[in-house]
Amino acid sequence: MEAKPKRQLTPEQLEKLKLAREKAFQVRIQNKELKEHERKQAKDAKHYEKNKDKIDKEKKREEAVNIILESKKKAEPVKEQPKAKPPSKPKPEPEPEPEEESEEEEEEEEKYEPPPRKVIAKKPLPPPKQIIRKKAPSRPPPQPTEEDLYSNANIEMLRKKLRQQTLQRLNSDLFNY
């Protein structure tokens, strides 16, 4: 068998191949950009869905604030008010020198007593009409089976059950010899 001669491309075909490769490269770049753009839009859409309620509330709040501000602007023109100075503290007046008081004034001061206060006695609360006592349960609550325990158990429940079983075994070993 004779080996087939290797195929040779003509310069025209090489030129066409080069152009086709460049065109394919450009198409790949465009496809990559489109995919990235689509991913970004999908991510933005998810983000928008999650925060849609918050965005709506913020828009409503901003609209309400704008309406209030506009109504205030229309109602009253802005007036510049001078800043109010804090009232200055009054200077203490010098105490007058004590004058000698007559004995009559001293007696009046000694005689004055404030009026007695009324003492209000509160009535004690009446006893309850009926005393309700809770009855102790006659029998202990039913113990859950192991299947029930393991089906909806957490680690603490299992730990308590294991401790209880261990104590029962120890007690039975100690007192049933």
DSSP string covering 2-44: PPPPPP---HHHHHHHHHHHHHHHHHHHHHHHHHHHHHHHHHH
What is the per-residue pLDDT for 107?
54
Is the confidence at residue 109, as pLDDT, over 90? Answer: no
What is the per-residue pLDDT for 17?
95
Residue 57, C-beta contacts closer than 8 angstroms, at least 6 positions apart = none
Is the confidence at residue 111, as pLDDT, over 70? Answer: no
Say if residues 111 and 104 touch (Cβ distance below 8 Å).
no
Instruction: For the chain, state the CA radius of gyration.
Output: 48
Instruction: Give me the mean pLDDT over the 127-139 stretch.
Output: 75
What CA–CA distance (Å, rounded) separates 28 from 150?
57
Report field, pTM of the whole predicted structure over 0.85: no
Say if residues 160 and 167 touch (Cβ distance below 8 Å).
no
Cα–Cα–Cα angle for 11, 12, 14, nearest 5°?
60
Average pLDDT, the chain: 78
- Per-residue pLDDT band for 26 (boundaries 50, 70, 90) equals very high
Tokens of 23: 């065109």
More confidently predicted of 108 and 63: 63
The DSSP letter of residue 138 is S
Say if residues 124 and 136 touch (Cβ distance below 8 Å).
no
What is the per-residue pLDDT for 19?
96
Say if residues 9 and 17 touch (Cβ distance below 8 Å).
yes
Q: Which amino acid is residue 166, in one-letter code?
A: T
* Domain residue spans of the chain: 10-75
